[in-house]
Structure 1
Amino acid sequence: MAETKREIERKYEATAETRLPDLTRAAGVASVTDEGVTELDAVYYDTADLRLAADSLTLRRRTGGADAGWHLKFPVAAGVRDEVRAPLSETLPRSLTELLRSRVRHGEVVPVVRLRSSRDVRHLRDGDGTVLAELSVDTVHADRLLDGPGGSGATAAWTEIEVELADDADPAVLDAVEKRLRKAGVHPSDTPSKLARALHETGLEPAAPAETDADGSAGAAVLAYARKQVEALVRFDPAVRRDLPDAVHQMRVACRRLRSAFKSYRKILDRDVTDPVGAELKWLAGELGHARDQEVLEARLSDALDALPREQRHGPARGRLRTWSNARTRDARRRALDALDSPRHLALLDALDGLLADPPLRPGARKKAAKALPKAVRRDHGRLAERMGPALALDPGHDRDVALHEARKAAKRARYAADAAVPTLGKPAKRFSKRVKAVQSLLGDHQDTVVARGALRDLATDAENAGEPSFTWGVLHARQEAAAAAGERELPGVWERAGAPEIRAALSR
């Protein structure tokens, strides 16, 4: 069973002659206790082409110390990583293999370097004796294990100081300790991790991130945007598996942005190639959509129930909603994970890599981005206008709900097209995206009321069949109807601002 620990630490350069200052003079630190020396032995793993290191991921099998086992570290922010731990075993645990799947794919991880560290540990404590941080002076010896240019067998050695924040401690203590270390002539390390330093000093360097040639062409601009979305798909795969907040949503958005770009910029990328890939992106977004839609629906219904006065809550409404939601959430999550575990998903990632490596550029890709991209954005805006007009003319009801939902899809496409153009067009594209996003958001809220009303009808039926009062579900249904009506009244004004001539003119370069 894997567990996760948030690791917040800072590293500093040191030598065998470095002497630590009196850290009880750091704000908040009342005492420093010597915890002795621990011998650590860790083998770090990666693919032969160092894909994990290229994405700042660390995978190791370590013996010695209190946390011996397998450790997989994901970057969160500068000096902050999530460390996923699994028990010590001879082979990589499945729980970690799954988290690496989007990066490793059909390959395997192999030993890359071995680090043996002699760790001299001190605990920094407050006046009550509570540990605020752990400071260690690490004497490190690195051995290169991976064959390659220059062969294996290269070694390196260094000393460093590491200060790691204790669980639930105030991060300000790290600033206070750093202030004392700097005054003593101890400075932050230039490398973010021991692995990064070991790779560099033993002649192993991960490949530099692939970049689209920034030549000002439409093809370069669209490929740069597509590459960003593909990177998001890979990055959010393990986040979805770890059930991190908003991960499903962000991965689904990356699918939609990519698919939308293929359609919006069809004069730049050949749709004979991108359409089949887009169909697979639609499949993946659909499989993820069940989990995301359930997240949104559950939050909406739960908040609505909380907002009801006590006298309008009849029967075991809270319990029924919880039971109904839990079952749907489990099914939706299982469906999302099944999709990520499928060969179809890996084939999609491989296809996207192939598309970026050998892009299907059309003649329009050679045009200047500043000329070609605005045309695509204006075309998508016109498509949105063609849907909004008829939708607004319909009377409230099922047909209007369907028409507004179709308009919402067109609004997303227009907004995503503008977002792809922001690096080229700057503020005009940003303003356009902001106005269209307001339309999309209002249409999204309206569609959420449509879905919520359907769910409330189901809940009312289930309650009646169980002999429970359905009054509460009826009240909630009426409130969702009122929210939909309010949104429909607001929509014409929001759309007018997004369809204003000056917005389109701003993109007429």
Structure 2
Amino acid sequence: MPKTVTASTLVLAAIRERVAALHAAVDPDTEPVPALEDPAVGTHDIGSEDTSAEDGGTSVTLPATDDETPDDDIPVVGEEDGLDLERLADALADLDAVVTGFASLIEDSHLGALRAELAWARSTVEETRALDGTVDVLEELVEDLDPTLRQGPVEARVGIVVASRTAQSSDAVAGMLAQPEWTSLLAHADQLVLTAPIAGGKPKHATKVLARALADADAAAREAADAAVAQAQGSDHATEPALGAVATAAATVATTAGVTRGVLGKQARKLGDAADALAGALDERRRTEAVAHWLVDLADLAHRAGEPSFTYGVLHAEARARRAAADEALAAAVTAYTKPKLHKWLKDLS
């Protein structure tokens, strides 16, 4: 990385990249507003999975009606047309992580409004992403089921419930994009790029300034992880606020480390990789727990419609086993992330 690189240039480049991605996610044919010169340095985005908005799957049961008895040829999930929700979720999460990780360097009176708007948008979009993840696990369990254990129109019953929930989530996202708050979010994001109110304009201070930002994000993630360890083990709730806070904080660390690793080196990369692994473990834990809740409701719905519920019990046992494995993986990820040697170097730099 050139010695002329400043923290402000690097952070602005990261913001520009993510604002452009946000515009492209909702309208691929529209050029984003920012028109500043590209900096002479690249950014290295480690990437992250944000699991802050979690779907507990506790209310999927629908009233059984006479025309609700499914046909065997109904698919489990249909492909969605139109907006790429995964791309939109990633763009929102990435921009949120950058403005959170480098908030101490951003001198913009509208930053608070932008962060509030991002939280509002993510609460809707991430719910849809969480739903998709839950459906993926459910499909895997059904696909791997021993055919001799299938009783009743299981795939079709799952398809009815999934289609209903997917339609609701898609409608919510479409409604979000039509709100004035969404227009305001884009305007604030564009303004942040165009006015470029980023502190840290001296190259000689780049290492210290960026290390301090990463250290702040790291401290927040470790604090959240410490608070969640006891709550995560053996709990029956997929929407634990403590776990959501860890996922959000881990995503911020992963993204912040990705932006700064060109200056801070391989230690930043290792920290970002550990944070990314923690976020992934949290996502798997949430999905497996959500599926277990779904299967309880599916069994109830099938029973009230006069269908055998035995198969859902078998699937539920598999989901609980997968949840137990996810608990172990989460504990290992927390242990790996909280190792002192992964963080000590930051204190020396910042």
AA aligned opposite 1:384 = A
Give the C-alpha shift of residue 233 in structure 1. Answer: 0.5
AA aligned opposite 2:130 = D
AA aligned opposite 1:278 = R
2:199 equivalent to 1:356:
no
- Structure in which a larger fraction of residues adopt helix: 2
The count of residues paired between Structure 1 and Structure 2 equals 294
Provide the residue aligned with 1:496 in structure 2: 335
- Structure in which a larger fraction of residues adopt strand: 1
Over residues 166-201 of structure 1, what are the superposed CA-to-partner deviations in whole Å (9 max), with x where a residue is unaligned? Answer: xxxxxxxxxxxxxxxxxxxxxxxxxxxxxxxxxxxx
2:234 equivalent to 1:445:
no
**Whole-angstrom distance in 1 between the partners of 2:143 and 2:237:** 31
Residues 502, 352 of structure 1: alpha-carbon distance in 2 compared, 3 angstrom cutoff: same
Over residues 93-137 of structure 1, what are the superposed CA-to-partner deviations in whole Å (9 max), with x where a residue is unaligned? Answer: xxxxxxxxxxxxxxxxxxxxxxxxxxxxxxxxxxxxxxxxxxxxx
**Greater RCO between the two (CA within 8 Å, min separation 6)?**
2
Provide the residue aligned with 1:277 in structure 2: 114
2:209 equivalent to 1:372:
yes
Indicate the larger mover: 400-409 or 330-339: 400-409
Same amino acid, percent of matched pairs: 25
Residue 225 of structure 1 contacts residue 420 of structure 1 at CA under 8 Å; is this kept in 2? yes
Provide the residue aligned with 2:124 in structure 1: 287
**Whole-angstrom distance in 2 between the partners of 1:463 and 1:500:** 47
CA RMSD of aligned residues (A): 2.8
Residue 239 of structure 1 contacts residue 247 of structure 1 at CA under 8 Å; is this kept in 2? no
Residue 256 of structure 1 contacts residue 282 of structure 1 at CA under 8 Å; is this kept in 2? no
Residue 218 of structure 1 contacts residue 373 of structure 1 at CA under 8 Å; is this kept in 2? yes
AA aligned opposite 1:493 = A
Residue 238 of structure 2 contacts residue 290 of structure 2 at CA under 8 Å; is this kept in 1? no
Give the C-alpha shift of residue 243 in structure 1. Answer: 5.3
Give the C-alpha shift of residue 447 in structure 1. Answer: 0.9
Provide the residue aligned with 2:181 in structure 1: 344
Residue 449 of structure 1 contacts residue 481 of structure 1 at CA under 8 Å; is this kept in 2? yes
2:94 equivalent to 1:305:
no
Residue 391 of structure 1 contacts residue 400 of structure 1 at CA under 8 Å; is this kept in 2? no
Give the C-alpha shift of residue 450 in structure 1. Answer: 2.1
Question: Which aligned pairs between 1:193-232 and structure 2 lie closer than 5 A?
Answer: 216-232=5-21
Give the C-alpha shift of residue 289 in structure 1. Answer: 2.5
AA aligned opposite 1:420 = V
**Whole-angstrom distance in 2 between the partners of 1:230 and 1:237:** 11
Residue 250 of structure 2: which of 396, 406, 411 is its match? 411
Q: Which runs of 4+ in 1 moved over 4 A?
A: 242-246, 364-367
State which structure, 1 or 2, has the greater radius of gyration over its C-alpha atoms. Answer: 1
2:214 equivalent to 1:425:
no
TM score, norm. by length of structure 1:
0.53
Residues 365, 282 of structure 1: alpha-carbon distance in 2 compared, 3 angstrom cutoff: farther
**Whole-angstrom distance in 2 between the partners of 1:316 and 1:460:** 12
Provide the residue aligned with 1:393 in structure 2: 230
Give the C-alpha shift of residue 282 in structure 1. Answer: 1.7
- Structure 2: stretches of 5+ with no match in the other structure: 30-78
Residue 101 of structure 2 contacts residue 256 of structure 2 at CA under 8 Å; is this kept in 1? yes
Over residues 324-364 of structure 1, what are the superposed CA-to-partner deviations in whole Å (9 max), with x where a residue is unaligned? Answer: 112222222232233334443233212211111113345x5
Question: Which aligned pairs between 1:37-186 and structure 2 lie closer than 5 A?
Answer: none
Residue 238 of structure 2 contacts residue 286 of structure 2 at CA under 8 Å; is this kept in 1? no
Residues 342, 246 of structure 1: alpha-carbon distance in 2 compared, 3 angstrom cutoff: closer
Residues 365, 479 of structure 1: alpha-carbon distance in 2 compared, 3 angstrom cutoff: farther
AA aligned opposite 2:234 = P
2:73 equivalent to 1:236:
no
Give the C-alpha shift of residue 244 in structure 1. Answer: 7.1
Residue 98 of structure 2 contacts residue 255 of structure 2 at CA under 8 Å; is this kept in 1? yes
Provide the residue aligned with 1:15 in structure 2: none
- Structure 1: stretches of 5+ with no match in the other structure: 1-213
AA aligned opposite 1:255 = L
